[in-house]
Amino acid sequence: MAVRAAVLPAVGAPLEITGIELPEPGPGQVRVRLAAAGVCHSDLSLTNGTMRLPVPAVLGHEGAGTVVAVGEGVTHVSPGDAVVLNWAPSCGSCHACSLGEVWLCANALNGAAGVHARTIDGTEVHPGLNVAAFAEETVVAAPCVLPLPDGVPLTDAALLGCAVLTGYGAVHHSARVRRGETVAVFGVGGVGLATLQAARIAGAAKIVAVDVSPEKEELARQAGATDYVVASENTPREIRALTGRQGVDVSVECVGRAVTIRAAWESTRRGGRTTVVGIGGKEEQVTFNALEIFHWGRTLSGCVYGNSDPAEDLPVLAEHVRAGRLDLGAMVTERIALDGIPAAFENMTAGKGGRALVVF
């Protein structure tokens, strides 16, 4: 039986909403009926070639749903179970995994090279970012599904698969924000909103949200921002003015552009930490001089998938949801159908809204 899916036929080509034929789950595989899938900037990066994986591909990597069937050898989930998709499963045997740095697994995206399904005319398609969540149903490797803890709404749980793990991890694992510290978050999209909530959960004393859009201020404050700055060339100066001329203890950049990375760096106090979450292209060159690196004593670090271990972090996030500390629904600014994804990409490019959620 064919299912509807959003297929990227080639880099730079328009997304096609079409039918695909999925195989039955083989050994070590799970078939999932999607409840919802978030529209993430990484999906947009695949369409424009900033990130490169095999195409044609079914996009979508932030999703949640219900297990329909399992293949031989799968024991951690059963048909009827609610699950969150994990687009970057760790292999457990590469060098990074041996160090406990599962978010840097060298083999995490190997599945994206495989054949996932066929279109109605027989064209082979790959699973974009392993899980092909922009579809009514998907078949994935067993490590790509994690049981959803009780008490989390299934549709909103899709956000746990990328935006929330990334934003929460950036604060708690990478930057290691401590209670009473000051934090600036650059970019109020899906990941930025999760980062703001994570900074609030961490007990940050002042949380400054930065975005090019003045319209996002209310959204940012609802997520936990105490201050809001409309991005400009004066952003670092404005942030220092809000922090006794010192700069923030931690800046988290969620955009992936050279200008915002540089602004985040300059907004960080002497000896503070700047964490880069946004995925930028190779043409985005950031420059520093040797004297400033010595003088400011700041730490600049990249952050992949929030430096998270999804299997360990998902129960923690679920407890925050149940306790009312983490509001997944507040991050969703638009609930759409599959054919609304291209417009969601346009809004993302224009800097509009928070997270668009495809609801099946």
CATH architecture of 166-304: 3-Layer(aba) Sandwich (3.40)
- Pairing verdict, β 117-119 and 124-127: antiparallel
What pLDDT was estimated at residue 350? 87
Q: Which residues belong to CATH 3.90.180.10 in the chain?
A: 2-161+327-359
- Average per-residue pLDDT in the chain? 96
What percent of the chain is modeled with pLDDT above 70? Answer: 100
CA distance 186 to 249: 14
In tens, the pLDDT along 82-113 reads 999 999 999 999 999 999 999 999 999 999 99
Q: Which CATH superfamily is domain 2-161+327-359 in?
A: Medium-chain alcohol dehydrogenases, catalytic domain (3.90.180.10)
Encoded amino acid at 313, one letter: D
Q: Which residues belong to CATH 3.40.50.720 in the chain?
A: 166-304
pTM reported for the whole predicted model = 0.95
What percent of the chain is modeled with pLDDT above 90? Answer: 93
Give the model's confidence band at 30: pLDDT under 50 very low, under 70 low, under 90 confident, else very high: very high
- Enumerate the H helices of 203-257 as residue ranges: 217-223, 235-242
